[in-house]
Amino acid sequence: MLKKRTRDDAEIPMSSLADIAFLLLVFFLVVTTIDVDTGIGMILPPIPDDIEPPPVRERNLMNILVNAQGMVLINEEPAAIANVRDQVRRFIDNHGADPNLSESPDDAIVSIKTDRRTPYNVYIDMLDEVMGAYEELRHEASMDRFGVPFTSLEQGSERRAEIQEMYPKQISIAEPDEG
């Protein structure tokens, strides 16, 4: 008796599957925000203990000051932001040739000082130029030695470390003035 009964088709309708998937897809497309996760990396200097910092010879130190008006002073002389890169490059890559510039890239320290009212974007532009100088020098060293651009060297590889050691980024943030 029961066997005679015709059963309904036990299939789930699949035709709307694509529509549902599309709906979800559109939802995620709208919700997705590609986050900014790029930036300029820096290491802050630790809080000084009572130990005096090791003396640095004046020629090995490049003082960059950005004042409240957004003007850049390199070793007390005004400079345009566009010139910062060149000046930093000459300073680092001097190898003792000019007695006023650094003795070697190892010794060269770029010191950055800002005023409390310095505009942030000027500071970033200036920092960008300094980073650009290091990047250029590393790129050239890498092309010279390995024949490939620095950016193509793998993270953590020996070659990369070697170039980084040739031109170590020694950027110091000066102690802020009191008050």
Where do contacts with another protein occur on this chain (CB under 8 A)? 17-18, 21-22, 24-25, 28-29, 31-33, 35-47, 66, 114-121, 123-125, 127-128, 131-132, 135, 155, 173, 176
CB 103 within 8 A of CB 59: yes
Shortest Cβ distance from residue 141 to another protein (Å)? 16
> In whole angstroms, what is the distance from residue 112 CA to residue 63 CA?
6
With the C-alpha atoms ordered 26, 28, 30, 32, is the resulting torsion angle positive or negative? negative
Nearer to another protein among residue 15 and residue 100 (C-beta): 15
β-bridge pairing 61-66 and 109-114: parallel
Give the chain's radius of gyration (CA, Å). 29
Nearer to another protein among residue 79 and residue 131 (C-beta): 131
Shortest Cβ distance from residue 164 to another protein (Å)? 13
The residues near 176 (Cβ < 8 Å, ≥ 6 apart) are 114, 116
- The closest of 72, 90, 55, 68 to 128, measured between CA atoms, is 72
Shortest Cβ distance from residue 46 to another protein (Å)? 6
Shortest Cβ distance from residue 33 to another protein (Å)? 7
Nearer to another protein among residue 4 and residue 117 (C-beta): 117
CB 56 within 8 A of CB 106: no
- Cβ–Cβ contacts within 10 Å for residue 88, how many? 25
Shortest Cβ distance from residue 6 to another protein (Å)? 30
Nearer to another protein among residue 1 and residue 51 (C-beta): 51
Nearer to another protein among residue 101 and residue 133 (C-beta): 133
